[in-house]
Chains A and B, each alone.
Chain A
Amino acid sequence: MFFPDHPLFQRAFSWASAPVPPNLPPEEYCPVRDVLYGRLDSLLVSLIRKNIPEEKSLLLHAILSEIGGNSFDHNIGQWKDAPGVLFARTLDPTPFFILADRGQGIRRTLLPVKPSLANDEEALRTAFLEQLSSRAPERRGNGLKFVRRELLQDGIDLFFQSGTACYAVTSKEESWKSVPTSIPGCLAVLSFSR
């Protein structure tokens, strides 16, 4: 499930893609990692109160932590302008969650360790499929591989865009495509049926 017409998505896409970032509601802007993680912990409480199965809630927390953590891990000192991430969410009627950043994006992040990357789609495939760290020789590069594996096993849907490349998992089926409007950083939407 992907909600391109939802106001939350529209605002996130606009924030991620605009030349100058529009103001965000303070409750959606996480300028530092601790703010994001605090909101993820609060989300966990909300999910359990809404009777979302505990295992799905915990797994969702882990997936959001990995995607959101990547934004901070890979963009420190490299933000285009506004540091940090947007984190927006709604639980009714269908739970969905958006993370976006105004960082350097997947391709620019990976180019130093894989200069052969020809385009955004190749970079996105590398990020989700290959064990490659943009911070070599540090041992990293596991986050998005873990995310992909869990999405394909556990029925949480994803839309992920960086540059013009998109990756989606819907009902455990994955797809790749390019779109005309580029996002310099990254934008991710997660959702699942109740």
Chain B
Amino acid sequence: MTIAMHKFGTILNSRPAGREAFLAFRPQLLHVLKSTEEIILDFQGVQVLTPSFADEFVTPLLEQYPGRVSFMHTQNITVRKTLEFLSEQWPKDAYDWKRDL
């Protein structure tokens, strides 16, 4: 499953918006729960990502689906720096950077 992050907005900077996005999307992840399908977060088209938004959206995904989440199109400076910053707190085997870093 690929989640096109820009569909939540090109500026992903608010903690409430991150929480709301996660809660709204969570039902679509239910079938993933029963499989081993990978969850790809695609940041293409995202202009701004902050730790506040990512902490509410990405961190819970990693907690619920450890080892099955990967990131792509992370070249944007705020996407890259936010994910690098938060990844210091995430278990090393909970995510995959390899797609474009």
Residues of A within 8 A of B (CB): 33, 37, 40-41, 44, 55, 58-59, 61-62, 65-66, 69, 73, 131, 139-140, 142-143, 145-146, 149-150
B14:A37 contact, CB within 8 angstroms: yes
Q: Known contacts A139-B55, A142-B85; is A58 also within 8 Å of B78 by CB?
A: yes
Q: How far is the CB of B14 from chain A (nearest CB, A)?
A: 6
Smallest Cβ distance from B75 to chain A, in angstroms?
10
29 chain-A/chain-B pairs, Cβ below 8 angstroms: A40-B11, A44-B11, A44-B48, A58-B47, A58-B48, A58-B76, A58-B77, A59-B81, A61-B11, A61-B13, A62-B50, A65-B48, A65-B50, A65-B52, A66-B13, A66-B51, A66-B52, A69-B13, A140-B15, A142-B51, A142-B85, A142-B86, A143-B50, A145-B85, A146-B81, A146-B82, A146-B85, A149-B85, A150-B81
Residues of B within 8 A of A149 (CB): 85
A33 and B59 CA atoms in complex are apart in Å by: 23
| Complex interface: chain B residues within 8 A of A58 (CB) | 47-48, 76-78
Q: Is the interface of A mostly helix, strand, loop or mixed?
A: helix
Tell me the B residues contacting A by CB distance below 8 Å: 11, 13-16, 47-52, 55, 59, 76-78, 81-82, 85-86, 89
On whether the beta carbons of A62 and B86 are closer than 8 Å, the reply is no
A55 lies within 8 A of B51 (CB): no
In the bound complex, residues from chain A placing their C-beta under 8 Å from that of B51 are 66, 142-143, 146
Residues of B within 8 A of A145 (CB): 85
Chain B residue with Cβ nearest A153: B81
> A158 CA to B78 CA in the complex, in Å?
18
Complex Cα–Cα for A54 and B59 (A): 27
* With contact pairs A58-B77, A62-B49, A139-B59 given, residues A40 and B13 touching in the complex (Cβ less than 8 Å): yes
In the bound complex, do residue A33 and residue B13 qualify as a contact, i.e. CB atoms below 8 Å apart? no
A65–B77 touching, CB < 8 Å: no
Known: A44-B47, A58-B77, A146-B85. A65 touches B55 (CB 8 A): no
* Given A33-B16, A61-B11, A65-B13, 17 other A-B residues pairs in contact with their CB atoms under 8 A: A37-B11, A37-B13, A55-B77, A58-B77, A59-B78, A61-B13, A62-B49, A65-B14, A66-B13, A66-B50, A73-B52, A139-B59, A140-B15, A142-B85, A142-B89, A143-B52, A150-B81
